[in-house]
Amino acid sequence: MYDCSRVVVPQHEDDVALFDWENFPPSKFQGAKSSFTIIDECTGIDGKLIARNAFIHGQVQGLVFAEHVTVEKTGLVTGVIFCRTLTIFGKVQANIVCDSILVRDGGKLSSFLKYRALRIEQGGQVAGKFERRCVIDQQGRPQNQTEAPSLDFLRSTQRNSAPPGR
């Protein structure tokens, strides 16, 4: 068993972006590649959940720090989530820094969210402030990110496509 009290939890977005998941203590524990933690429907946690893979059917209030997190239909997470992947079938009201997020049909996400990839299935509900993170290479330059059109570009496109006489 690993000592999770020695795990250093990232404090900033950059810490999560550069986090070495292969050396994450739960990953290094014997057999950890297939290990997982299940929080059942009758269980609630007030504090920290640190795991390699977390399946949350119950309630977690506080910090969830895991490589892969799944919030099941009966699950509720409030607080902060740091992870590599997050799948939401249930309800999440948290500040989140995550690489990849999938909000499934019936999932509800209300968040301040920093992400690299976000997918919302039909029937998924989202609200809050979302900010796409870019990948930084070792020289401090963004890697292969396509820039979103600026607001000025969008306004000029809308003006130029207006019907004649306006």
77-98 mean pLDDT: 94
The predicted pLDDT at position 132 comes to 87
For the chain, the domain total comes to 1
Domain-embedded: residue 134: yes
The predicted pLDDT at position 154 comes to 33
Domain-embedded: residue 118: yes
Element (H, E) at 145: none
- CA–chain centroid gap for 91, Å, is 13
161 Cβ neighbours under 8 A, 6+ residues apart: none
Domain-embedded: residue 71: yes
Give the pLDDT band of residue 13 (cuts 50, 70, 90).
Answer: low
31-57 mean pLDDT: 85
The predicted pLDDT at position 165 comes to 46
Closest CA to 125 of 112, 111, 106: 106
Domain-embedded: residue 165: no
Domain-embedded: residue 113: yes
Domain-embedded: residue 66: yes
Q: Does the pLDDT of residue 76 top 70, yes or no?
A: yes
Instruction: For residue 148, give its domain range.
Output: 4-160
Domain-embedded: residue 16: yes
pLDDT in tens, 109-156: 999 998 989 999 999 999 999 988 765 444 444 555 444 333 333 333
